[in-house]
DNA sequence: CCTTGTTAGTTACAAAATCAACTGTTAACA
DNA sequence: TGTTAACAGTTGATTTTGTAACTAACAAGG
């Protein structure tokens, strides 16, 4: 198949980023899926609560830039499987604080170690400096376009 | 909200790659969606045909690592909107060669220019060398894990 | 030729994502 | 207060995806 055109899809950043993101998520996905029956949004919610301790659904949605309906459904699933509990805020009864149960904590700690090892494996082929540069560039690309140039 | 734990989700490559991929696809997505009513798999199929001229659904699926059912549906949609045509291979009547119509070619050329400009905008903050290094690292991360270390 | 296996592509059904509309609660202010 | 707007979160309808099973065509060995 000869090339007819000089545009290189493999060089187009959104495409390349997507391929890299998908490929590099695969093996980790297998683990949280098979070990805990979680979906992507669910491990993300789990990690947010594991790291920050107590958050509302809205805070998680804002931090992770996940739509609130997705978070709402992930929270419902995690609650029904006893990975987290909710508690209504007495002062503002719209807000609902989420917190991991011991079962949730334990799943989080387990997956956190998997994530650490997995991340280390992914950067194995890069130097320390390259890996740091990569993350820095990715953080910039991940920033909402609105912030470009801003703080 | 104080940090309770030292794991940094923003540094975890699969997460970071995903955030970067999603954010950096947003504006481009708006364009192919609103200008041509396409979905992600559809613009990818369009680009493959625009670049390589004539391919079968299976070849596109293999190159882009998209599942064949997704390609099948994208092709059906693109055909119904007259962006491409199919022609059964006489020698092997299972195979179906896909080719862009003039309408498809024109959409491709338009989006190709959008993609070029958009890509340039994304790397605006990086030096030439950084941008090249980034793409190189992403290509490596995008490579199937099975190939790690291999050619 | 005729089984058996493989390949190309589609379809059916279940799971999940998206978008809009909804409930319930608080805030703003005439 | 009473009315209107804003916010937190959920639900329902529709679309899209994922998984598996399917049809049709070829290939290889007996």
Edge-to-edge order in the sheet of strand A96-100: A55-56, A96-100, A84-88
Q: Give the model's confidence band at B130: pLDDT under 50 very low, under 70 low, under 90 confident, else very high.
A: very high
DSSP A125: T
The angle subtended at Cα A48 by Cα A100 and Cα A22, nearest 5°, is 125
Model confidence at A151: pLDDT above 90: no
**Is there contact between A66 and strand D, defined as CB under 7 Å from any strand atom?**
no
**A69 is a domain residue:** yes
Q: What is the pLDDT of residues A21-36, one digit of tens each?
A: 999 999 999 999 999 9
Residues B28, A10: C-beta atoms closer than 8 Å = no
Looking at per-residue pLDDT, the higher value among A149 and B33 belongs to B33
Give the pLDDT confidence score for residue B97 in this predicted structure: 97
Cβ contacts, strand C, under 7 angstroms? A 39-41, 67, 69-70, 73, 91-94; B 56-59, 68-69, 71-73, 75-76, 94-96
**B6 is a domain residue:** no
Q: Backbone phi, then psi, for B17, in 5-degree steps? A: -60, -40
Helix (H) or strand (E) holding A34: helix A13-36
The Cα–Cα gap between B146 and B136 comes to 18
Tell me the chain A residues in contact with residue B133 when contact means C-beta distances shorter than 8 Å.
Answer: 130, 133
Give the pLDDT confidence score for residue B1 in this predicted structure: 46
**A2 is a domain residue:** no
Helix (H) or strand (E) holding A53: none
In contact, B68 and B83? CB cutoff 8 Å: no
- As a whole number, the mean pLDDT across chain A is 93
Domain span at A34: 9-144
Residue B63 falls in which region: left (phi positive, over 0), alpha (psi -120 to 50) or beta: alpha
Nearest protein residue to C17's C1' (by CA)? Answer: A70
Give the pLDDT confidence score for residue A33 in this predicted structure: 94
CATH number at residue B40: 1.10.10.10
- Give percent of chain B above pLDDT 70: 95
**A1 is a domain residue:** no
Mean of pLDDT values over B48-56: 96
Closest to B14 in 3D by CA, of B3, B22, B2, B6? B22
Give the pLDDT confidence score for residue B150 in this predicted structure: 56
Mean of pLDDT values over B86-101: 94
Q: How many separate domains does chain B show?
A: 1
**B151 is a domain residue:** no
In contact, A64 and A48? CB cutoff 8 Å: yes
**A29 is a domain residue:** yes
**A134 is a domain residue:** yes
Question: Of the candidates A13, A23, A130, which has its C-beta nearest B119's C-beta?
Answer: A13
Q: What is the pLDDT of residues A50-93, one digit of tens each?
A: 999 999 999 999 999 999 999 999 999 999 999 999 999 888 99
**B89 is a domain residue:** yes
């Amino acid at each position: 198949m000869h090339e007819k055109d000089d545009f290189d899809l493999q060089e187009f950043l959104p495409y390349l980023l997507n391929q890299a993101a998908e490929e590099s998520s695969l093996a980790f996905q297998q683990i949280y899926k098979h070990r805990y029956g979680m979906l992507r949004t669910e491990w993300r919610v789990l990690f947010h609560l594991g790291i920050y301790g107590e958050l509302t659904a809205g805070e998680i949605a804002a931090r992770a830039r996940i739509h609130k309906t997705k978070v709402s459904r992930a929270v419902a699933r995690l609650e029904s499987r006893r990975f987290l509990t909710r508690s209504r805020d007495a002062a503002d009864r719209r807000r609902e604080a989420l917190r991991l149960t011991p079962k949730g904590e334990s799943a989080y700690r387990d997956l956190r170690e998997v994530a650490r090892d997995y991340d280390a494996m992914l950067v194995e082929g890069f130097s320390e400096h390259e890996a740091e540069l990569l993350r820095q560039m990715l953080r910039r690309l991940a920033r909402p376009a609105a912030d470009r140039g801003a703080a």
